[in-house]
Each structure stands twice: as C-alpha cells, then as structure tokens.
Amino acid sequence: MELELTNKRVLIPASSSGLGFAIARELASHGARVAMSSRDSSRIEAAAESIRSATGADVAHQVCDVADGAALERWVDSVAGEWGGLDIIIHNSGGPPAGAFADFAPNDWEDAYRLLLDSAVRVARTGRPHLGDGASVVFMTSMSVRRPGGSLVLSSVFRAGVAALAKSLAAEWAPHVRVNHVIPGRIATERVAQLDSFAADARGVTREEVTADMEAAVPLGRYGDPAEYARAVAFLVSDAASYITGASLQVDGGALVETY
C-alpha cells in the first residue's frame, strides 16, 4: 500500500526518543519532510542526524520544551513559515511523574497540565492556520484515557482532556482537516521502562518481574516495538486513511480488548 507521504511537511514535538522519534523516522522513510524538537539540544541534534543518515530525508530540528507554551507556538509558526505551511501535525509530549493523587501538590498538577493538555491546545491553535485541505492531525494519548487509575493519575486526567480535544476538533475541522488520536499500549520505550521500575519499587520486586507480569496481561504476549506503533500512525496520517477522522486507534497488542 502506497502511503503517498513524499514531501509532506510534518511537525512532531518531543521527538528525540521514544514514540516521537520512531514516528519521525517512519515518516521520513516514506519521503516526508520532518521537523523535530526536544528540550535537550544534544539529543535532538543526534536524533535528527540519525534519521537524515538513514533516510536521506529533509529533517529540521529545534530545541523546544513543549511545556513552554510561548516557545512551542514560536516553533510551530517558524517551521510553517519556512516551509510554506504544514500537512501533518503529530502532537507528542513526555509523560508526567507516576504516582497517586495524594503524592502530588498543586504545582505538580500545573506542570502536568502544561506538559500534556496546554501543549496540545497550543499546537492545535497555532498550527491550524498553516494546515490546508486534506491535512491531518494526530494526538498521542495513552491507555489511561480508557482505563484510568493506578499510579498514573496525572496522565489519566490530562490525557483524557487531549482525547476529548481530538474528538472535538475532528468535528469542528471537518471536512478540511482530519483529526484522530492514537492510544499506545505497553510499547518498549524508555518511558515504559521507567514506569515498570516505579511499579517494581512499589511492589518490592525486580523490574524484570513487573515486565513479565505486564506482558502476560497483553493478549499478544509481549511489549510492542516503537516501529510497530509508528507504522500505525503513518497509516493514519496518510492519504490511505482519507476517510478516517475522529477515531481512537489502539496500538496495544489487545490490552484494551475488554474495554469499551
């Protein structure tokens, strides 16, 4: 299946590693022009160069912390201005700390809001004027939007807001721009390894034991590879998915199969 992503102008914040990086690499491999950002200058420079070397694609990179709303808006406008517009926006951000409600003070909630929900709103608001007919926007959420609770209260609350934003914009921006959100399951990234370590410390067991328990709960019996997630996102933003908007796509090995 041809995804027809050649020369599509793509913006992906928080993409120096993990799922953001995997998506940037996948889209670049299909000939897209990709703008990447991270708050760490050395990491984003290395990530962008590795994708350029592997794909030969046009890859731009910039230091930008998605929790800094003004800087995020300037970056979006700068990339769109240089490229004459945008075709695809994939909102991504890091995850907030794990913990229960009692673990967090008001400033922790404010930080998580800026990281997750405010950054999504700002990317959408700033990016919309640069998107033409047929453009696509994808928001990254998490399984917590379907199964809240546990030690991810900050993520559960604000990623649910991002999912609601995606659904709202899908209706408002149709038929000109498609908007969807993608739910990653247990994908083998640094973030998931950190969550497994957090759970291991809480239970007094090894991280390997936690990972084994988590894998056993996934119908496909393993964690996903970031490349598998990236391929799903690439399809969703491509012309091959031209009749899909307002969708919540689970890439989770069946982990949410019993959640409706």
pLDDT band at residue 258 using 50, 70 and 90 as cut-offs: low
pLDDT band at residue 259 using 50, 70 and 90 as cut-offs: low
HEC letters along 36-55: EEECCHHHHHHHHHHHHHHH
Calculate mean pLDDT across residues 231-242: 97
What is the C-alpha separation between 212 and 19, in angstroms, rounded? 21
Calculate mean pLDDT across residues 8-22: 96
pLDDT, residue 24, reads 98
* pLDDT, tens only, 201-233: 888 889 898 888 888 989 999 999 999 999 999
Model-wide pTM > 0.85: yes
* pLDDT, tens only, 78-123: 999 999 999 999 999 988 988 999 999 999 999 999 999 999 999 9
pLDDT, residue 45, reads 97
**Helices 69-83 and 119-127, packing angle to 10 deg:** 30
pLDDT surpasses 70 at 260? no
Q: Which residues contact 216 (CB under 8 A, 6 or more apart)?
A: none
* pLDDT, tens only, 161-188: 999 999 999 999 999 999 999 999 999 8
Domains and CATH numbers, the chain: 9-185+224-250 (3.40.50.720)
pLDDT, residue 82, reads 97
% pLDDT > 70, the chain: 98
pLDDT, residue 139, reads 98
pLDDT surpasses 90 at 37? yes
Q: Tokens 């047929």: give the residue.
A: 134
Look at 70 and 201; give whichever has higher pLDDT: 70
pLDDT, residue 175, reads 98
